[in-house]
């Protein structure tokens, strides 16, 4: 058994599947070397291999057969039939046999290119015959699976509802059979270490699905793309479609929720820049930081002036027949607080909250506020928006103005309609004071991260959806703006 080492998990990723066995060969030898140095006599070893066509792999497998009482090849049901992964289960390590084997230093030398540690005459024909039978069996399974997948791909099975339903039922039956045979049951809620948030957070969309980027040949062709071409290609696989989103959407039931009972200030490390957000697709952040990492010559994005943005929003409010009046609607352009460009997100959040508090203090009853380009990527800013709407205003309108010809001119806005009451309890001011105190006492190392539980922000049937879609469109347009503003790389 392993002594104080419960598990060693080594991963290797190759971009060339045709040479997979050769490329991972040195890794496999290192894995075996590590196992032999850790295992005690009688211990077991599990090794993941792929194909076993090369001489060095065959030599390694025979070596394992000499050092263990038994070795078996196994492909679990959870392993996809179309790939070549196979697990070698080695049982009963014979530690005393290591000294009897030939000198392994050469084979395990990282500088050595030739890892064929045994000649053809050193390996018995009986072993080679058994290995051949096993390799042939797994190869036939793999070929059969690939041929079936090609057939299904040509048939476009997704277009046939009956076939899809049949496959779904088959998957469900297999899952139930597995649970029954293994006698698996869910852990009772009372025994959970962490609360089961699966149902309350089922709307969360940031867990990106798998993107099908074509076959290996097609992926290889992408290596010749420029950075701009690569980003545009990746964006085409992300279903954002800003131009398809409604320009205006309304939520009018937030005032029915008693948010005061749920206020809970969560403090943590200050945010200088955002790497991800629960309110946006993670893949979009990945593309954004690929641009920032590769490009140091980013030019300033040419955008509208503040006055131009205000006029464009006012004209859209009129054309959309939204309830507003230019005399009782205060417009705040918050573009300078954008989390994607501000050098310190934590300072931007505090400045934004203070600005809103000052604005509310002088805003007459029944008047409205239009917040242009308010940042909505953090729990803190979304919590602030929910508190404003749920406690003080009648309803909230979400506006998304998309300009496909000029992404930098695309904007979003939040219309807080009809102030119903003042923040007489000073809740927002209390949050701002706590935020400022945390910064001062920690020398800007700690601040308030959230005001309301994340479950409350995500479980509303419309709020999370609207915020999520706006953020995805904003981030996509920001990425496209960066591409358009940057000088082409020198060739």
List, for residues 361-391, the tens digit of each pLDDT value.
999 999 999 999 999 999 999 999 998 888 8
**Would you say 268 and 449 are in contact if contact means Cβ atoms under 8 Å apart?**
yes
Which residues face 413 on adjacent strands?
Answer: 372, 399
Q: Decide: 240 and 404 in contact? Cβ < 8 Å.
A: no
What pLDDT does 35 receive? 87
Per-residue pLDDT tens for 185-197?
Answer: 888 877 776 555 5
Return the ∠ at Cα 358 (arms to 357 and 362), rounded to 5°.
110
Q: Which of 362, 463, 364 is nearest to 419 (CA)?
A: 364
Does pLDDT of 227 surpass 50? yes
Tell which phi-psi region holds residue 49, choosing left (phi > 0), alpha (psi between -120 and 50) or beta: beta
pLDDT, mean of residues 224-229 = 85
Q: Which two tokens stand for residue 403?
A: 């300009």
Which one, of 30, 9, 22, lies nearest residue 51 by Cα? Answer: 22
- Three-class SS state of 298: coil
Residue 203, pLDDT above cutoff 80: no
The full 3-state SS of 408-438, as one line of letters, equals: HHCEEEEEEEEECCCCCCCHHHHHHHHHHHH
Measured distance CA(212)–CA(239) in Å, rounded: 13
Query: Average pLDDT for residues 10-26, to the nearest whole number?
Result: 66
> Residue 321 above 80 pLDDT?
no
Strand partners, 248: 399
pLDDT tens, position by position, 129-170: 999 999 999 999 899 999 988 887 777 766 778 878 888 899
Any idea what DSSP says for residue 270? P
User: For 412-440, what is the mean pLDDT?
Assistant: 90
Residue 457 Cα distances to 206, 286, 387, 398, angstroms: 14, 24, 11, 16
User: Which tokens sit at 248?
Assistant: 């205006």
End-to-end CA distance of the chain: 57
Residue 224 is classified by DSSP as G
Q: Which residue among the candidates 48, 267, 310, 465 is catalytic per the annotation?
A: 48
Q: What is the mean pLDDT of residues 80-87?
A: 87
Task: Let me know if 385 is exposed, middle or buried by CB neighbors in 10 A (0-12, 13-18, 19+).
Answer: buried
- Express each pLDDT in 427-463 by its tens digit: 899 999 999 999 999 998 898 999 998 888 888 878 9
What is the band of 111 on the pLDDT scale with cuts at 50, 70, 90?
low
pLDDT of residue 360: 92
Instruction: Assess whether pLDDT exceeds 80 at residue 240.
Output: no
Q: What is the pLDDT of residue 70?
A: 93
pLDDT digits (tens, 9 = 90+) for 307-320: 888 888 888 877 77
Please check the confidence at residue 8 and state whether its pLDDT lies above 60.
Answer: no
Cα distances (Å, whole numbers) of residue 289 to 24, 205, 345, 475, 479: 30, 20, 16, 11, 10
Assign 490 a pLDDT band (cuts: 50, 70, 90).
Answer: very low
pLDDT category at 25 given cuts 50, 70, 90 is: confident
3-state secondary structure of 334: coil
The closest of 243, 314, 211, 277 to 480, measured between CA atoms, is 243
Percent of the chain topping pLDDT 90: 23
- What is the secondary structure of 91-148 as a DSSP string? EEE-GGGTTTSPP-TTTT-TT------S-GGGS-HHHHHHHHHHHHHHHHHHHHHHHH
The mean of the pLDDT values for the chain is 81
- pLDDT at residue number 489: 46
pTM equals: 0.68
Comparing CA positions, the residue from 400, 395, 390 lying closest to residue 368 is: 395
Q: Residue 89's pLDDT band (boundaries 50, 70, 90)?
A: very high
Distance CA 473, CA 432 (A): 29
Top-confidence range, 22-36, 315-329, 458-472: 458-472
48 is catalytic: yes
**Per-residue CA distances from 402 to 53, 205, 388 (Å):** 55, 22, 26
Residue 345 DSSP code: H
> Closest Cα to residue 49, out of 87, 7, 91?
87
> In the predicted model, is pLDDT for residue 101 greater than 90?
no
Q: Which residues of 438-453 are buried (b: 16+ CB within 10 A; e: fewer)?
A: bbeeeeeebbbbbbbb
Q: How many CB atoms lie within 10 A of CB 377?
A: 24
- Choose between 13 and 402: higher pLDDT: 402
3-state helix, strand, coil in the chain (%, to 5): 50, 15, 40
Is residue 29 within 8 A of residue 105, CB to CB? The reply is no
Higher pLDDT, 78 or 216: 78
Average confidence (pLDDT) over 322-334:
78
């Amino acid at each position: 058994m392993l002594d104080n080492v419960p598990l060693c998990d080594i991963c290797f990723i190759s971009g060339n599947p045709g040479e997979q066995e050769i490329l991972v060969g040195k890794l496999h030898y290192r894995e075996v070397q590590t196992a032999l140095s850790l295992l005690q006599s009688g211990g077991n070893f599990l090794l993941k291999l792929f194909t076993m066509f090369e001489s060095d792999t065959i030599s390694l497998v025979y070596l394992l057969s000499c050092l263990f009482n038994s070795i078996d090849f196994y492909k679990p049901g959870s392993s996809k039939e179309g790939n070549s992964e196979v697990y070698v289960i080695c049982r009963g390590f014979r530690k005393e046999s290591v000294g009897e084997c030939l000198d392994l230093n050469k084979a395990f030398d990282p500088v050595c290119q030739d890892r064929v540690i045994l000649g053809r005459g050193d390996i018995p024909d009986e072993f080679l015959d058994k290995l051949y039978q096993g390799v042939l069996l797994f190869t036939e399974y793999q070929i059969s699976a690939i041929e079936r997948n090609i057939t299904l791909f040509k048939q476009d099975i997704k277009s046939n509802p009956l076939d899809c339903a049949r496959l779904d039922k088959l998957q469900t039956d297999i899952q139930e059979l597995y649970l029954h045979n293994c006698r698996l049951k869910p852990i009772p809620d009372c025994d959970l270490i962490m609360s089961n948030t699966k149902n309350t957070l089922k709307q969360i969309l940031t867990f990106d699905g798998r993107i099908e980027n074509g076959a290996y040949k097609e992926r290889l062709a992408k290596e010749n793309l420029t950075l701009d071409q690569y980003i545009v290609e990746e964006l085409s696989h992300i279903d954002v479609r800003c131009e398809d989103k409604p320009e205006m959407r309304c939520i009018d039931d937030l005032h029915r929720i008693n948010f005061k009972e749920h206020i809970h200030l969560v403090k943590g490390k200050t945010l200088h820049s955002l790497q991800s957000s629960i309110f946006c697709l993670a893949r979009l952040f990945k593309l954004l930081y690929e641009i920032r990492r590769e490009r140091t010559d980013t030019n300033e994005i040419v955008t509208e002036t503040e006055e131009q943005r205000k006029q464009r929003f006012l004209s859209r409010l009129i054309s959309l027949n939204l309830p507003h009046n230019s005399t009782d609607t205060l417009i705040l352009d918050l573009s300078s607080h954008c989390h994607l460009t501000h050098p310190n997100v934590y300072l931007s959040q505090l400045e934004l909250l203070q600005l809103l508090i000052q604005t509310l203090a002088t805003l007459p009853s029944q008047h409205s506020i239009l917040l242009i380009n308010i940042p909505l990527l953090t729990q803190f800013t979304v919590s602030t928006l929910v508190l404003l709407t749920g406690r003080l205003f009648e309803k909230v309108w979400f506006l998304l103005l998309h300009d496909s010809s000029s992404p930098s001119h695309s904007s979003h806005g939040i219309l807080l309609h009809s102030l119903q009451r003042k923040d007489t309890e000073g809740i927002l001011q209390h949050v701002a004071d706590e935020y400022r105190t945390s910064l001062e006492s920690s020398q800007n190392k700690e601040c308030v991260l959230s005001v309301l539980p994340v479950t409350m922000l995500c479980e509303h049937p419309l709020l999370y959806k609207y915020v999520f879609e706006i953020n995805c469109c904003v981030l996509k347009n920001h990425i496209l703006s960066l591409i358009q503003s940057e000088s082409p790389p020198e060739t």
